Amino acid sequence: MDKNKLANPLVELRGVSKAFRSPDGTPRTVLEGVDFSLAEGEIVALLGKSGSGKSTLLRIIAGLTQADAGAAHYRGRPIRGPVSGIAMVFQSFALFPWLTVQQNVELGLEAQGVAPDARRERADAMLELIGLAGFGGALPRELSGGMRQRVGIARALVTNPDVLLMDEAFSALDVLTGETLRNDILDLWDDSRIPTKGILIVSHNIEEAVMMSDRIIILSSDPGRIRHEIRIPLPRPRDVDSAAVRALIDEVYGLMTARPAPAPAPGAGEPAVARVDYRLPDTGVHRIEAVLDLLAAPPFDGRADLPQLSEDAELPDEELFPTYEALGLLGLAHVERGDITLTVLGKRYAEAEHVLRQAMFGQQLLEHVPLVARIRQQLEDEPNGTLPEEPFLELLEDSMDTEEAKRMLEVAIEWGRYGEVFEYDYHTGRLKLPEPEEL
Amino acid sequence: MFELFTPGRTGRSFLASTPNRWDWALLPIVLAVLAAVAYGAMQMARPFTLGQPTPISLAPGYLPYYLLRTILRMFTALGCALLFTFVFAAIAARYRAAEKFMIPLLDVLQSVPILGFQAIAIAPFIALFPGNLLGVECAAIFAIFTSQAWNMAFSLYQSMKTIPPELGEAARVFRLSPWQRFWRLELPYAMPALLWNMMMSMSGGWFFLVAAEAISVANQDIKLPGIGAYIAVAIEQKNGHAIAYAIGAMFAGILLYDQLFFRPLLAWADKFRFEESQGDSAQQSWLLDWGRRSVWMRALTDRFWAAATRALGWFALPPDVDTAAAPARTRLNVDPRLWDLLFGVIALAGIWRFVLFIHSQVGWGEALHVVGLGLITLVRVMLLIGLASLVWVPIAVWIGLRPRYAQKVQALAQFLAAFPVNLMFPLVVYVLVHAHLSPNIWLSPLMVFGTQWYILFNVVAGASTLPNELRLAADNLGLTGWLKWKRVYLPAVFPSFVTGAITASGGSWNAAIVAEYVTWGKTSLVAAGLGSYIKQMTDAGDFHRIALGIGVMCVFVMLLNRFFWRKLYLLAEDRSR
């Protein structure tokens, strides 16, 4: 890496903050005090759990949304709207389905007012470079996912952007296709066959970030702040099985699963979560149990390396992280430095039968999840054992926006139903105590 | 034909290419359409003075000419409606403040019956072209326009608001100007729904054709050459044969523009369907296939699209050197509450004006009487929608589950929805007079005569999208009879039923004006209700009472929509999630 190029950043963010106003008016901070710069000749990956504001950061750089505080600059000029030096590749490809591949690729040039002949020439050259020669007349719907994303990339690159932004560009593709496409882009980049001077990738795939980037930035959630920065001085192409890459992947896993300050240290006795509004991880009961069973069974036997577990579960990290958090929260497992270990209780849980499991789950909920405990308590205080959901929603809305509050209550309801702590009627929106079981 | 913006073939001259057999096949069609349009357009601008009789002949030989005039009128109106739609939706979707008052306005406009617009518009239009028939022609076109435009505008607006966010972002990242964005993203995305609404609008145009062409506002009796006026004269002269001819001509007209206009357009617009996978409901059009094979047509359309692509370059955004250096967009930072306040004041002023008007012009007794009539019509509308639902929902489900029939029935239902209720007058009068039936009860079915098809139509569509696996599961579980209907079919079609019923209800209020006051020669059958009240006042030319009647109808329709149909709609939406 040429260090002195840092003096001349392509993109620079200083103290950027962003809050979204939810429909009911309460602001929700997604980014807070972010300093970031993208230098020439650099590929940077942004990692973070969902809700960490990584996509928002990307959109601020793209000029699609404005920062509330702080400054965003592209080549020393403030970014106030989309600029033609910055192009973007979208997760869902965002191709115009009624335009042919050729027309899609030409779109940016057309907007710039490039003459039709020059447009066609440049588009043809780009299609050939990206491996789509001969597909110019096809409609996007005729292409496979991988080829569609190639069109998306060609459309971005044909405008000769300085900066290429990739918003989870490979996550809608199957693993093999994503890997091929990723390697093709890296080949173009490393051979300097594209004029792009800097790439910023938003991803939730740790392996992808380690394989591609020169630098990984990890954002924390709620609000998003830069938590870690890791330089990767390995030359490309990198071997995914090499010890250096494996070690890096482990390290990033460790950093990603390390709990932020307000949460208790797991394993250290009591996971003493005190607050009712502790953000419950967005994961279902069956996912929790499936991961627990996987963890308890050989070859893991109660202890696993997170990347290994992710591979075995065949699930992306983004979906697994909340599950790990839930396991930790319920005292069934604890996560430390890229490893997850079942607790004694977790082992008992794994061996238990269905009915016992539900009972244990309910017990743990009442002990460790204050929201569920609060609902149960208030239901017991009611003479008829039933309450509408609204007061709880309002309680949550004191500290989060409506949507988040709804999501959290949904999670709490699903967990609570499973643990037979309370019942819920979807149509009336009422919570009630379970019928006493007749023995 | 219509290869959208294909740059590859633009340079080719169409004179250099040799015509093929498709060219020869298309040539007569193209020439015939051109000649007909030119002839019809020439006939529109004729000298005319107010009070001059406008003879309409019932001889069937005149029908092709009348049909031509009518269709020309309808397409002119459709063109205007399209233009209105573009402007309206572009403004409403882009500016928050405008949206706040334009969308409710659309709601109001939609509930105003066509006669109301006609009563207001006829005088200014005639004044616009003194001594020429063109003024009356414009008034008729305007009346047809008012029966077409609103749902189209609403459809485009809604599509523009629901564009997938990533596509919108892509358009911004690649710096498409608002002009480019409209033609490249917003209009193509809205195209299928808009086309669909255009077809519905054409049906709506037929439905009120008699009122639009045989203008009998304020003691005027002007009849423009056309099918609508033909029907009106046939009713006056009690000519049953002429009614039959009119039905035939109408059928031919609908078939013609369906085959020559909508079918090719639908088949062409197939590529705008947003679902990424190719559905099985792809439309076919022989005309489009011919056009695509014709050398001349290709060359012509290539030139057209090349020119259109050049037009895309208009109003491009300035190079970003400027945008980046320019100060942040200076938005007019008006507090949104200020707008609310402004609209509130305007609304209050409107209400005050209305109260004053009732007090000084018509009197409260009359107003109360009209509200009473409105209630009678309300009962009629709701009862008949209910009855029509009882009849059509089971039939529609049955048809919808059999895809072979579904498409044919949909085409038929579309024709039936276009059928002007006036064509039923001879039959109805004959039955009612001979059987001594009370018009208050037995005229009511006419109200849903043209609108019940929307229920059929939507429920068929809803039932045909019922997942096959659900049906298999129901069979597998041994569900039969009423249980199967209660648990599977009815819940599955409920959302589409509500959509259809909303359309049917809105149409029925409008139809009340025609349906509650039936004439055949000298015989008039009147059912007490708001519709007959408006019709009678229109014939009498009592503007104050027309205004009162229309105002009350607007209020009824809007209250019904807000407090009944919208609630039902939200319920359906919630259930079907």
Kindly state whether A97 is in contact with chain B, defined as any CB-CB distance less than 8 angstroms: yes
**Confidence check: pLDDT of B14 > 70:** no
Say yes or no: A182 and A140 in one domain. yes
Does the beta-carbon distance from A99 to B5 stay under 8 Å?
yes
Q: Within a domain: residue A262?
A: no
The burial class, CB within 10 Å (0-12 / 13-18 / 19+), for B425 is buried
Q: How far is CA B387 from the centre of its chain?
A: 24
Confidence of residue A25 (pLDDT cuts 50, 70, 90): low
Report the residue of chain A nearest B571, measured CA to CA. A427
**Confidence check: pLDDT of B382 > 90:** yes
Does the beta-carbon distance from A98 to B188 stay under 8 Å?
yes
Say yes or no: A304 and A411 in one domain. yes
Say yes or no: A218 and A334 in one domain. no
Q: Within a domain: residue A225?
A: yes
CB-closest option in A94, A116, A137 to B166: A94
Domain ranges of chain B: 18-316, 337-575
Q: Within a domain: residue A315?
A: yes
Tell me whether the CATH fold assigned to B18-316 matches the one assigned to B337-575.
yes
Kindly state whether B184 is in contact with chain A, defined as any CB-CB distance less than 8 angstroms: yes
The 3-state DSSP class for residue B10 equals: coil
Say yes or no: A302 and A337 in one domain. yes
State the CB neighbour count (10 A cutoff) for residue B360: 9
Question: How many domains does the structure of chain A reveal?
Answer: 2
Name the residue among B509, B504, B525, B490 with its Cα closest to residue B200.
B504
State pLDDT tens for residues B121-180: 887 888 888 878 888 888 889 989 998 898 899 889 988 988 888 899 999 999 888 888
Q: Which ipTM was obtained for this model?
A: 0.75
Does the beta-carbon distance from A87 to B7 stay under 8 Å?
no
What single-letter amino acid sits at B284? Answer: Q
User: Which class would CATH give B18-316?
Assistant: mainly alpha
**Confidence check: pLDDT of B4 > 70:** no
Distance from CA of A113 to the nearest CA of B (A): 6
State the CB neighbour count (10 A cutoff) for residue B438: 10
Instruction: Evaluate whether B454 touches B496 at the Cβ level (below 8 Å).
Output: no
Confidence of residue B219 (pLDDT cuts 50, 70, 90): low
**Confidence check: pLDDT of A154 > 90:** yes
| pLDDT (average), residues B210-229 | 81
Please provide the DSSP assignment of A45-110 as one string.
EEEE-TTSSHHHHHHHHHTSS--SEEEEEETTEE--S--TTEEEE-TT----TTS-HHHHHHHHHH
- State how beta strands A333-336 and A339-342 pair: antiparallel
| CATH code of the domain containing A250 | 3.40.50.300
Q: Please give the backbone phi and psi of residue A431, each rounded to the nearest 5 degrees, phi first.
A: -100, 145
Tokens representing A222? Answer: 């709620």
Candidates A66, A68, A84: best to mutate against B (most CBs of B within 10 A) is A84
Does the beta-carbon distance from B316 to A97 stay under 8 Å?
no
Model pLDDT, residue B576? 64
Distance between CA atoms of A387 and B350, rounded to whole angstroms? 45
Kindly state whether A64 is in contact with chain B, defined as any CB-CB distance less than 8 angstroms: yes
Kindly state whether B382 is in contact with chain A, defined as any CB-CB distance less than 8 angstroms: no
Kindly state whether A74 is in contact with chain B, defined as any CB-CB distance less than 8 angstroms: yes
- Which residues on A lie below 8 Å from B174 (Cβ)? 82, 87, 107-108, 111, 155, 159
Say yes or no: A286 and A191 in one domain. no
Say yes or no: A226 and A307 in one domain. no
Say yes or no: A66 and A183 in one domain. yes
State pLDDT tens for residues B303-352: 888 777 777 777 766 665 444 444 444 455 566 778 778 878 888 888 88
| pLDDT (average), residues A132-144 | 89
Distance between CA atoms of B58 and B147, rounded to whole angstroms? 26
- Which residues on A lie below 8 Å from B324 (Cβ)? 74, 77-81, 83
Strand partners, B524: B519
Model pLDDT, residue A336? 81
Helix (H) or strand (E) holding A342: strand A339-342
Model pLDDT, residue B327? 45
Distance between CA atoms of A152 and A172, rounded to whole angstroms? 13
Whole domain around residue A395: which residue ranges? Answer: 270-439
Cβ pairs bridging A and B (under 8 Å): 111
- Which residues on B lie below 8 Å from A140 (Cβ)? 276
| pLDDT (average), residues A301-310 | 86
Distance from CA of B155 to the nearest CA of A (A): 19
Say yes or no: A235 and A132 in one domain. yes
**In this structure, which CATH number among 1.10.3720.10, 3.40.50.800, 3.50.30.10, 3.40.50.970 belongs to the domain B337-575?**
1.10.3720.10
Report the residue of chain B nearest A111, measured CA to CA. B176
Kindly state whether B322 is in contact with chain A, defined as any CB-CB distance less than 8 angstroms: no
Average pLDDT, chain A: 86
Distance from CA of A66 to the nearest CA of B (A): 10
Instruction: Evaluate whether B316 touches A113 at the Cβ level (below 8 Å).
Output: yes
State pLDDT tens for residues B285-310: 777 777 777 777 777 887 888 777 77
Say yes or no: A284 and A198 in one domain. no
The burial class, CB within 10 Å (0-12 / 13-18 / 19+), for B356 is exposed
Say yes or no: A423 and A373 in one domain. yes
Q: Is the sign of the CA dihedral B443, B445, B448, B449 positive or negative?
A: negative
Distance from CA of A112 to the nearest CA of B (A): 7
Kindly state whether B282 is in contact with chain A, defined as any CB-CB distance less than 8 angstroms: no
